Structure 1
Amino acid sequence: MARVAGARKPMSRTIDLSRAVVVSAPGLAGPEAKAIAALIDEVAKRSGIVWSNKHECTEPDVPVIAVGTTESLREVDGLELPGGLAQLKPEGYILRASSGAAQPAVIVAGADARGVLYGVGKLLRQLRWSEGTVRLDGELDIVTSPSSALRGHQLGYRPKNNAFDAWSIGQFDQYIRELAFFGANSIEILPPRTDDRPSGPLMKVEPLEMMIGIARVIDSYGLDTWIWYPNMGDDYSDPEAVRAELAEREDIFAKLPRIAALFIPGSDPGKLDPDPLFAWSEKVALLLRRYHPEAKIWLSPQIMRYDSAAWMEAFYRQVSLEPEWLGGIVFGPHVDVPLPELRRLIPDRYPIRRYEDITHNYHCQYPVVDWDSAYALTLGRESCNPRPVAHKHIHNVLAPYAIGNICYSEGINDDVNKFVWSDQDWDPATPVIDTITDYAKLFIDSDRAEAIARGLLALEDNWVGPLAANAGVEVTLAQWRQLERESSGRVLACYRFQMHLLRAYFDAYTKRRLAYETELEYAAREALREAPATGSLMAIERAERLLGRAKTEPVSADYRLRCEQLADDLFAGIGYQLTVTRHYARSQGRGAFMDAIDAPLNDVRWLRAQFAAIRREREERDRLAALERALDRTNPGPGGYYDHLGSERGFRRVDRGEGWEADPGYLRSPRIAHAMHLLSMSEERQNELGGIPLAWVAHANALLDTPIVVRYDRLDPAAGYTVKAVYVGETSGNTPRDCWVRMTANDQFVLDEAAAVKAGSVTIRECAVPAEAYRDGKLALTFARIRGFKRLNVAEVSLIANGQSDAKGGN
């Protein structure tokens, strides 16, 4: 479906709707009646005005708001229907507001009940309100139908989510209503048993009770209920196990009012090969249709294994049989085939639905582009992350290949992104500033909506480029602090204002700490360079005191305190879990970024590991030598080159491939990634590696067969070089994640045939570079995964001139 029209006339005089009457056909019920009730309810919440609902236009000089389907509005006496009704497609609506008539009127005419709900949402997004006043800034003339057939979001109720497990059914009702105001037509819910604990300390009702309650809410708005239902069984070849799994599902299918579709992921979690996956899914489909005859099964080729290519071949073979019970294919995280290629390989009869990760910042499907390590260390993987500009681009570049999207989310942190995706699903031409202005107007403060929207864009800009050089971070905070000073108590208590205000303070605090702690490290290193004169142990003590000032003499304590206050307010208001201890978050990685607010932003951890090792040396000359090696860790020697590929500067040497603009999921392009698991490595292993410098945490990353190519163009043809590469292993887990890497020079010379990179650790290799490889002064080093887990990570590459390396070979 496509948007057929949508024009707004130039703003004329204000239309006062404070005394308006809502007019609709008599005897309405179901979703159409609920849409009208939602309009009246939302206006009352914000203005204190309770519009009456009548069934005829008989009161002169009273503004009329006529709401209903194009069919039901014909039953309203005295109402003149607008033109353009024939242009509407399913779920579309007409929204017209006029001030020229004797009786100022607004008409919301939906093609169907959903169209009424979306038209009501659009009207609410245009209103300005204060206590006792409701108005429009001018006339409206909108005729629109959705571009995408599928528009929705996944709402999970489990302890893994960073807020939703603390919600009541009423809170879910409100949130689903708000998503619908921006065009959502589907909500995906989770069963009681997933890859997480079934219950948590904040849950108000049991998971099955909540699942049933949310499904009823979805149905009451006339929206579609999807279920994300992973395969959690251990053995689907065991008849007893299969019977138990089917019985569990039957209990759910029988209790839910209406299921539109059931989505079974190929993995994450789940570990079935395609042949048994399809056989099992057919059994589920037959059971599902017994209770919901129109529902079908959707499958995703999400795979997290060594043999992903063989798995995909088997998946395609099963799809080519074109089973009747299969409703479509899902593209999401861990689908290693670009969406355009997947669309080409899947039979035309099967639509593709997107299942896009809008919730995570790194180690995810759509990471923040070249994210600064200071943010990765503090805000982490799942922070409050408004990214309207980025997500509009991600949406639009792949939109032609799918029927729409139901976004993957882990809670409230991606709230802005949800509404951006819904608006883009409705009309990809919508400017994001319009969406987030409507968001601010409807949910926060209609009088300051434009300023708040600019503030949300500024939060996204805070994450662009190196933090140390981003002068906009302080400006962003100043803008949000002014909004804070000038806002009413109602706005200050609004969780959508609080969560973004918190981000503004947090970003500025992080930048201030980065500058301070960077300077402390410089000072500490200068103290260590004085060791030959002062003695190694005294130099270390002085360096430790300097580094310790980050805690003993902290900076911007007022910013930190405000962050803590806002975190507590958010927990009290909506159960947003920003710490593990106070707010019951599952872990720091699951949104509890306040627990990392003071994470070191310099190399203090690595330096302290060096100090401990140096103190164990008995002789002063050995201590001094060890200190010199530590200070020169990244020095490639005269004529050499050192590049930290996880930094903005070092990544300039890396071939970008297709690049983010064409390949936002980086399926064919290297990217900057982050390996926080290194910082939680066992102390024994850290000691074996000599500590973990921050340069190993941020690294260049490539997926599958995409190589990491590092280029040099000013080498000395007469010199000899040794290349030293630092590989970062993936997180260890239930899935084997070791990989093997080949290093070549100019695609001609194999320098390292098969370096084994162990999961959960770091591997360092050194190899001589043949002089023939750089005779013209140019060299391309290519790192390519040859087998094993699908991620390749290279943190550092050094070209060491002859005589500078002290290595004895690869290790």
Structure 2
Amino acid sequence: MRRLSPPHFWLVCLLLLTATPAFPDSVDLSKAQIFCPIKDKNSLRRSLEVLQQEVEKRTRIRLPLARKLPPAGQPVIALALETDLTTFPATVQTALNALPAIRSEGFKLLVQPNNAVWIVAKDARGLLYGVGQLLRKAEMRPGQLTLSDKATLASTPRYPIRGHQLGYRPKTNAYDAFTVAQFDQYIRDLALFGANSIEILPPRTDDDATSRHMKLPAIRMVGEQSRIGQEYGLDVWMWYPNLGKDYEHPDSVRRELKEREEVFATVPKLDAVFVPGGDPGDLEPDVMFTWLAKEAQVLQKYHPKAKIWVSPQVFRPTQAWFDAFFKHVNADYPWFGGVVFGPWVKIPVQEIRKLVKPSIPIRHYPDITHNYSSQYPVPHWDLAWSMTLGRESINPRPHDEKAIHNALDEFGVGSISYSEGTNDDVNKFVWSDQDWNPETPVIETLRDYARLFIGPDYTETVAQALISLENNWRGNLLTNQAVGQSLRQWQLLEQQVPPTVLQNPRFQMGLIRAYYDAYTQRRLLYETELEQQARDGLANAPKTGSRPALQQAKITLEKAWKDRIWPDYRTKCFALADSLFKSIGAQLTMEKHGAMSGRGNFIDNIDIPLNDSPWLMDQLATIEQLSDEKERLAKIHALLHRTDPGPGGFYDHFGAPESWYRVVPGESWAKDPGSLRSPRIGFGVGLVGEEWVDEIKALGFKGQITPRVWMKQAKTLYDQPLKIAYNELDPTASYRMRIAYTGRFRSRMKLTTDDGSVIHEFIQTGRQPIFEFDVPQTASADGKVTFIWTCGEGERGSQVTEIWLIRK
């Protein structure tokens, strides 16, 4: 065989490349026309507009509308309802009829090799979702629109309610900065992934009336949100808590009804009102349902088909409250729509399904926006993350969201998520896809997300990079190698993508997390080592003298903020935060971006100490004031041995993974992600009084500084028992028990053992951290003991931070 010379070789390669289609498994729609025989504008809604605009944004191609079906062989995208199917060629009808049947909101997407795409829907919404499927799967580049010939499918949503709450109020981390156009685009984006509902908020909530970010008064923006939902053919819900001081006095009731009349008259479309049972607006059920009947009359005056839904959401529930609540729920009120299962609902949804009539629907209200102190916290989250990223950071949790959804979805009719802004953007799209089809693999949703919102050249790389951010939160941060790997993925993308992608807010939200996570891990490693060096120096105080040891320990600890590491990562985070504020109003700091405390302002936490230096420095300053060397040395020894239980004793910190094995488990996280039947990790100090910090603050502590370990504990919700088991005890010994009770809740707790012994009766926690009790020798006579904490009725949960079992 003759060998080709180099010039001839490259010529042959060029000929092969020009003769072979760039996308051999795709149809080329770059020159397609759109054919749509539908005459009824109510059926079309904005589907044609969405198709043309979204394609044009990405390709600069304006797909023209054809008055009649183009001849065979010419590229076409055809849209029709099943009732208009006869306008298509017989062969196309046959191919479409061969696909599985569709039901309400369903669609069929048929891709044929002659560059023809046919979308047939059951109804107007189905058309929009069919267009969304095309856009999600299409490869759109400047001057080019292609679609895989394997994209053919027929699809019907599993659940009839699929949506997200978009509250225009200051408490959100971005929505209050949105313009009307931004809400329009965001609602459109959600609809492309199958959302059929939005939930808006009234102008008055448990929040400030306005913020510096708002482009319109709340009452006007609420009307615009409703109009947008109406134009896309979506359902519009409203979350409307009871904030009045009195719902029984006639004058108060009149004021409340007048307010609702103004709000309900303002919105052009309203399909349902969701009234939470509490948080805020706690009312006794008899009072609440009497009031709701009055509210329903005003609601249906302007929106005759609208219903009122209610949640059994109450911070301090009692059995009497629930009995009265479900009595009303099952009373067949004509205005009643259904029950909502959301945050701070004590009763598991499986039990609620049994308590209400089969005809009454249950809607999920999942909290997809918060990381802890929430309905579905990140399981066993590292304390460093809770201190820095906080409760409401950018938080893609794709695999967690699917697991949470699929654990509980069968007990409801779908969901409208609880969201406080753009931080949970990825989670929204995952949740909508799961409500459409719970069998959808997470990676498929992420690929669609990346392809449509970032670009087809980054489908796989961005999808995997988003997963990497979730992996950063798995396990112990000190040893988590995923953090470095995640940063490398995002940095490589950062080097490769064009400026348009670098300025894309959805890309930037992932990028800032990658840098922030890596910076936090580096600081944790650095500051952990500095603390150990300081402790080592203090341990030598008997040799070096207490005052030099104390001084050197302070110098060592101060290096964390005087000799900062990796300043470039820190600078990158602030630059990205500024860019996100300019583009989507993301408020990642309080002072510069106008965030509310604890509402997405995680950049404010970027320098918070990650070791015990605040507590140690406070202790060292106190010890320095002592005049006696022996006393100083004794105090240093006590500081260094604070957790020492003595010979034959036990010490455990129940925020630490190494002690969690002692916590008696309930159901697995996969079955009980909301911890209604299982223990969970909690965060917070929760001590009151002049001497003790009330809560963890982003910029430090107030009052007396506490040990870092008090910020994390084991806890259960409501009156669910918290059980902690010890074995390998000395059966002949007696033990003294020291307990640290800290945490977000200030509950009344009782402690008993598995043999029925009472360690202590109900005591009020939150007033002091440390308690000591004798353990009855009979309780540990077999070398084992299980401690059991319970709360009184109406309490929010039991919490245990540290235990010392000291052998007497």
Into which bin does the TM-score normalised by the smaller protein fall?
over 0.9
User: SS where residue 152 of structure 1 aligns?
Assistant: strand
CA distance in 2, matches of 1:672, 1:324: 42
Matches within 5 A, 1:93-172: 93-99=107-113, 103-172=114-183
Asked if 1:268 corresponds to 2:276, the answer is no
CA distance in 2, matches of 1:182, 1:764: 51
TM-fit CA distance, 1:55:
2.7
TM-fit CA distance, 1:718:
2.5
Asked if 1:746 corresponds to 2:754, the answer is yes
User: SS where residue 324 of structure 1 aligns?
Assistant: coil
Unaligned runs of 5+ in 2: 1-22, 695-700
Alignment-derived partner of residue 36 in structure 1: 48
CA distance in 1, matches of 2:142, 2:334: 56
Asked if 1:633 corresponds to 2:642, the answer is yes
Q: 1:682 to 1:121 in 2, by over 3 A?
A: farther
**2:529 aligned to 487, 494, 519, which one?**
519
TM-fit CA distance, 1:29:
1.7
For the Cα contact (< 8 Å) 1:644–1:795, is it kept in 2? yes
Alignment-derived partner of residue 381 in structure 1: 391
Deviations 1:569-621 (A, max 9, x none): 1011111000001111011x100000001111100111122123213323222
TM-fit CA distance, 1:321:
2.4
Asked if 1:644 corresponds to 2:653, the answer is yes
For the Cα contact (< 8 Å) 1:362–1:368, is it kept in 2? yes
TM-fit CA distance, 1:136:
1.5
**1:769 aligned to 764, 772, 775, which one?**
775
Asked if 1:427 corresponds to 2:425, the answer is no
Q: 1:376 to 1:617 in 2, by over 3 A?
A: same
- Please tell me the residue identity of whatever aligns with 2:601: A
TM-score normalized by the length of structure 1: 0.93
For the Cα contact (< 8 Å) 2:685–2:693, is it kept in 1? no
Matches within 5 A, 1:42-81: 42-59=54-71, 61-75=73-87, 80-81=92-93
Asked if 1:24 corresponds to 2:46, the answer is no
Q: 1:309 to 1:26 in 2, by over 3 A?
A: closer
TM-fit CA distance, 1:74:
3.8
TM-fit CA distance, 1:309:
2.5
User: SS where residue 322 of structure 2 aligns?
Assistant: helix
Asked if 1:660 corresponds to 2:634, the answer is no
TM-fit CA distance, 1:51:
0.6
Alignment-derived partner of residue 693 in structure 1: 707
User: SS where residue 800 of structure 1 aligns?
Assistant: strand
Alignment-derived partner of residue 715 in structure 1: 729
User: SS where residue 187 of structure 1 aligns?
Assistant: strand
Deviations 1:24-70 (A, max 9, x none): 11644245141111011001001111111113223454211001322
Deviations 1:762-781 (A, max 9, x none): 43211112222222222212
CA distance in 2, matches of 1:549, 1:105: 66
Q: 1:685 to 1:412 in 2, by over 3 A?
A: closer
Alignment-derived partner of residue 347 in structure 2: 337
TM-fit CA distance, 1:17:
1.2
CA distance in 2, matches of 1:582, 1:690: 29
Alignment-derived partner of residue 87 in structure 1: 101
Unaligned runs of 5+ in 1: 1-10, 732-737, 803-811
Q: Report which stretch shifted further, 526-535 or 271-280.
A: 526-535
TM-fit CA distance, 1:207:
0.2
For the Cα contact (< 8 Å) 1:24–1:76, is it kept in 2? no
For the Cα contact (< 8 Å) 2:318–2:794, is it kept in 1? no
Q: 1:114 to 1:558 in 2, by over 3 A?
A: same
- Please tell me the residue identity of whatever aligns with 1:83: N
Asked if 1:800 corresponds to 2:806, the answer is yes
TM-fit CA distance, 1:15:
1.3
**2:331 aligned to 321, 328, 339, which one?**
321
User: SS where residue 71 of structure 1 aligns?
Assistant: helix
CA distance in 2, matches of 1:503, 1:204: 28
TM-fit CA distance, 1:650:
1.6
Matches within 5 A, 1:311-710: 311-587=321-597, 589-675=598-684, 691-710=705-724
Q: Report which stretch shifted further, 214-223 or 713-722.
A: 713-722
CA distance in 1, matches of 2:517, 2:533: 24
Q: Report which stretch shifted further, 782-791 or 278-287.
A: 782-791
CA distance in 1, matches of 2:61, 2:689: 58
Q: Report which stretch shifted further, 394-403 or 84-93.
A: 84-93
User: SS where residue 414 of structure 1 aligns?
Assistant: helix
Asked if 1:757 corresponds to 2:769, the answer is no
Alignment-derived partner of residue 287 in structure 1: 298
CA distance in 1, matches of 2:100, 2:25: 29
CA distance in 1, matches of 2:302, 2:279: 27
- Please tell me the residue identity of whatever aligns with 2:636: L
TM-fit CA distance, 1:630:
0.9
Deviations 1:203-234 (A, max 9, x none): 00000000001100000001000000011101
CA distance in 2, matches of 1:58, 1:684: 77
Asked if 1:187 corresponds to 2:187, the answer is no
TM-score normalized by the length of structure 2: 0.94
Asked if 1:786 corresponds to 2:792, the answer is yes
TM-fit CA distance, 1:659:
2.6
Alignment-derived partner of residue 6 in structure 1: none
CA distance in 2, matches of 1:593, 1:86: 48
TM-fit CA distance, 1:400:
0.9
CA distance in 2, matches of 1:682, 1:579: 28
Q: 1:127 to 1:86 in 2, by over 3 A?
A: closer
**1:200 aligned to 211, 232, 241, which one?**
211
Q: 1:386 to 1:762 in 2, by over 3 A?
A: farther
CA distance in 1, matches of 2:90, 2:508: 46
Deviations 1:123-166 (A, max 9, x none): 10001121111112333221111100111110000111100101
Q: Report which stretch shifted further, 86-95 or 382-391.
A: 86-95
Deviations 1:227-264 (A, max 9, x none): 00011101111211111111111112122212110110
- Please tell me the residue identity of whatever aligns with 1:270: G
- Please tell me the residue identity of whatever aligns with 1:625: A
Alignment-derived partner of residue 8 in structure 2: none
For the Cα contact (< 8 Å) 2:45–2:232, is it kept in 1? no
For the Cα contact (< 8 Å) 2:70–2:76, is it kept in 1? no
TM-fit CA distance, 1:800:
1.1
Deviations 1:242-292 (A, max 9, x none): 111111111121222121101100011102110000000000111111111
TM-fit CA distance, 1:690:
6.2
TM-fit CA distance, 1:513:
0.7
Q: What root-mean-square deviation, in Å, do the aligned CA atoms of Structure 1 and Structure 2 show? A: 1.9
Q: Report which stretch shifted further, 744-753 or 511-520.
A: 744-753
- Please tell me the residue identity of whatever aligns with 2:747: C
User: SS where residue 214 of structure 2 aligns?
Assistant: coil
Q: 1:272 to 1:559 in 2, by over 3 A?
A: same
For the Cα contact (< 8 Å) 2:277–2:283, is it kept in 1? yes
- Please tell me the residue identity of whatever aligns with 1:32: L
For the Cα contact (< 8 Å) 1:12–1:138, is it kept in 2? no
CA distance in 2, matches of 1:157, 1:372: 32
TM-fit CA distance, 1:786:
3.2
Alignment-derived partner of residue 725 in structure 1: 739
CA distance in 2, matches of 1:704, 1:697: 20
- Please tell me the residue identity of whatever aligns with 2:792: I
